[in-house]
Amino acid sequence: MHRRAAAAQVSLGQEVDERMLVLDAAATARALPWSLLMEEIALVCREHRDGRLTCPPRQVLPLRQDGVLLVMPCLSDTLSITKLVSVHPLNASLGLPTISGEVVVMDSRTGQRLAVLDGPALTARRTAAVSMLALQHLAREAPRRALVVGGGVQARAHVEALQALHPQATIHVQGHQAEPGFVEELGVEPLPAESQARHAWDLIVCATTSRVPVLRPGVGEGAVVIGVGAFRDDMVELPPELVRGAQVWVDDPVGAQAEAGDLMAAGRFEPQASIEDLVMGQRPVDDGRTRLFKSVGCARWDLAAARVAVRG
């Protein structure tokens, strides 16, 4: 819910500034409509290319139970953010969320805190919006048959984005640990893993934390493939042979070189073209190869989302 927090008490007994917005998960999602979010991400790409943003590499700090703490700041002349996110892949077996966190938004000129946004909801929305912006530039035509591999928050966000932006697409979902009601609530087609190769896919989205490929040999050849789940160098959800034969773009070249296990497993250690290149006018070579977009996440996308949420 949207609420003004004048009377709210924080743990140290201090009052939260009455002008600061505190948005829970549902309010954060509502504040980030897909089209506006994609437009702002494209604008942030241009600003970053022009040197108008400061976005240092995120800190990735190990936690217990195979978890990590991500610390992600991004600064602009008017608005700055810091996101704190903890990711615990083993939480699913405990019935707990995999991702927890928040985004603190401040006025760059005064340091005044303007908002606290729900981290998982913002991350899910901005990640899917980045994927949809990449798809806009990489798709040969509007997707008709899409496969989403995964059953968690990111998979759900990508399904919701596809349903909103590409209603012509039939969406199949393959996920061993899908959230309760995932398939029924979203009205998508469940797909057993052994059936992957029975369809010709226009689009495949992989949104898992797997350490082994989740696509079968040959699946995805010639399609647009988007990998968003594997965000560490020891996570690999895309088959190396698919990656080696693909045209590749990434969301963040610096982050991808340090964290994209999918690219490392395929021996693609060199810097890759990015979504910024696509926004600035680069076009894929029309040679029939798979067009792969690999996303590891960066705070620029969080800044874009914070701008949309606070402005709204």
Per-residue pLDDT tens digits of the chain, which is 312 residues long = 444 433 333 333 334 456 789 999 999 999 999 999 999 999 999 999 999 999 998 898 999 988 999 999 999 999 999 999 898 988 888 988 888 999 999 999 999 999 999 999 999 999 999 999 999 999 999 999 999 999 888 999 999 999 999 999 999 999 865 666 778 888 898 898 889 998 999 999 999 989 999 999 999 999 999 999 988 888 999 999 999 999 999 999 999 998 999 999 999 988 899 999 999 999 999 999 999 999 999 999 999 999 999 997
Q: Are 128 and 161 in contact (CB under 8 A)?
A: yes
CA gyration radius, the chain: 19
Rounded-to-integer distance, Cα 74 and Cα 298, Å: 9
Angle between helices 119-138 and 153-165 (to 10 degrees): 50
Using alpha carbons, select from 151, 194, 188, 193 the residue that is nearest to residue 170: 188
Other Cβ atoms less than 10 A from the Cβ of 145: the count is 16
In a 3-state reduction of DSSP, which class is residue 195? helix
What pTM was computed for the model? 0.90
Predicted local distance difference test score (pLDDT) of residue 14 = 38
Alpha-carbon distance of 198 to 67, in angstroms, equals 36
- Give the pLDDT of residue 157: 97
pLDDT for the residue 18: 60
Helix 119-138 and helix 299-311, axial crossing angle in degrees, nearest 10: 110
The pLDDT assigned to 221 comes to 95
Please, are residues 209 and 89 in contact by the beta-carbon 8 Å criterion?
yes
Cβ count within 10 A of residue 142? 14
**Residue whose structure tokens are 């241009």:** 46
